Amino acid sequence: MARTFTIPPFYRSDAISRVKKSRQNLDQRKKDRSPSLIDIGPVIFKIARHFGFCFGVENAIEIAYRAIDENPDKRVFLLSEMIHNPHVNGDLRSRGVRFLLGTDGRQLIPFEELKPEDVVIVPAFGTTVELFDKLESLGVHPRKYNTTCPFVEKVWRRAADLGEQGYTVVIHGKHKHEETRATFSHARLHSPSIVIRDLTEASVLVDFIEGKLPLRDFHARFEGRFSKDFDAEKHLQRIGVVNQTTMLASETQEISESLRAAMVRRYGDGNIAHHFADTRDTLCYATSENQSATFGLIQSGGDLALVVGGYNSSNTSHLVELCSKHCPTYYVQDADEILSTTEIRHLNLESGEVKHTSSWLPQKSSPLEILITAGASCPDALVDDVLYRVSELFGAEQKLRDSLMSYAENGVVIGG
């Protein structure tokens, strides 16, 4: 039986919990990637099969709130944002939790202000070896309430295994992201390590491997993203790929295949296992499930997509990227961003700015089909709010309530 977590009830939802429970009952092996349908007349919501809080996020939330409850008379700090959702972090702040670092590593509160009796919670992304050591040198015990995602720790263990076997670790991730900084810190204890952002950078690495680019240019090209004393000529002879768990699983796979093909071209297929390690086991199941469900959502067709999540959430941004290739897509952090039938406020991924868009709802005589999904750090309650907000715009709130009741009574997916 899957583990259940104790998290504050206000993160749960009325509507979405019914949808998820219905789908779970109908598809216990999670084979069906098609969306759930809710028909409220003027709008048909198509809701992704998988989205929202993953195992690692629920685990982190349970530990963080337990830390608060167990230490009512102590100061409680988070090393940085526990997850990338402003509502979750805002609620923790309202309970007195203070943040030591920004998501970019910027110091908000000097570590020297900490006392041994203070409680420091490590976020779900984990942290670097250096920060663990720093806190412990101050007499603080960061491992007591360590919310690092088990799947992130799995990546760390795999990186250590690769190092012990003599492979260089190639990390697919955003080098400034907390999780990637942590993975890089742990990986370089065991092996030479390098961070690459995407397929474009992977192709550059391929060119170095195959000698199409001079190795003297390597350090300038990947400055700040490789471990100390990295020797490109020596350390690119045997490699294995691990990833930041919130990246596109499909892109990690493509990067791995590209690098493997380069090693085959250079060293031949017969000895490839010596030069390239199979690391498919480092892909996060939740990230993969959510992205697969998004593909299923897209394939069902729709007039537009609403993707709900924190604006600094890496995994949410990738869902937006997938949807935006197929239909107009609006990245909103909550229902308050949906201002009216004519205006929406949303994050533009390309510019990184929050913008207003007019005439966002297409005019059509037949029901409007709206695709709905959310990031792994987004509470179901926020998706609930988005459903009700859109329904309110069309005067169909009661229809939504009636439709959701049929989930509870019949346990079937509306619309098939």
Sign of CA dihedral 221, 225, 228, 232: negative
- pLDDT at position 372, please? 97
Query: The tokens of 336 are what?
Result: 């308050």
pLDDT band at 2 (very low <50, low <70, confident <90, very high): low
pLDDT at 15 over 50: yes
What is the tens place of the pLDDT at every residue in 83-132? 889 999 999 999 999 999 998 889 999 999 999 999 999 999 999 999 99
Q: Which helix (H) or strand (E) holds 59?
A: helix 55-70
Q: Provide the phi-psi class of 85: left if phi over 0, else alpha when psi is between -120 and 50, else beta.
A: beta
Catalytic residue among 81, 178, 179, 289: 179
What pTM value is reported for the model?
0.89
Chain centroid to CA 333:
14
Classify residue 304 as left (phi > 0), alpha (psi -120 to 50) or beta. beta
pLDDT confidence of residue 23: 85
Residue with tokens 């100061």: 75
Own/partner contacts of 26-32, CB < 8 Å, gap of 24 or more, are: 26/411, 26/412, 26/413, 30/289
Q: How far is CA 73 from CA 119, 132, 251, 339, in A?
A: 10, 24, 47, 42
Residue 281, pLDDT above cutoff 70: no
Residue 408 pLDDT > 60 = no
How far apart (Å, rounded) are the C-alpha atoms in residues 364 and 303?
Answer: 10
Question: Do residues 118 and 78 touch, judged by C-beta distance below 8 A?
Answer: no
Q: Residue 234 pLDDT > 50, yes or no?
A: yes
Q: Is the pLDDT of residue 407 over 60?
A: yes
Answer yes or no: 164 catalytic: no
The C-alpha atoms of residue 318 and residue 340 are separated, in whole angstroms, by: 26
Q: How far apart are CA 94 and CA 75, in angstroms?
A: 13
The string of pLDDT tens digits covering residues 40-89 is 999 999 999 999 998 999 999 999 999 999 999 999 999 998 888 999 99
- Mean pLDDT, all residues of the chain: 91
**Residue 412, pLDDT above cutoff 60:** no
Lowest mean pLDDT among 128-132, 158-162, 243-247, 386-390: 243-247
Domains present along the chain, CATH in parentheses: 9-53+286-410 (3.40.1010.20), 55-137 (3.40.50.11270), 150-282 (3.40.1010.20)
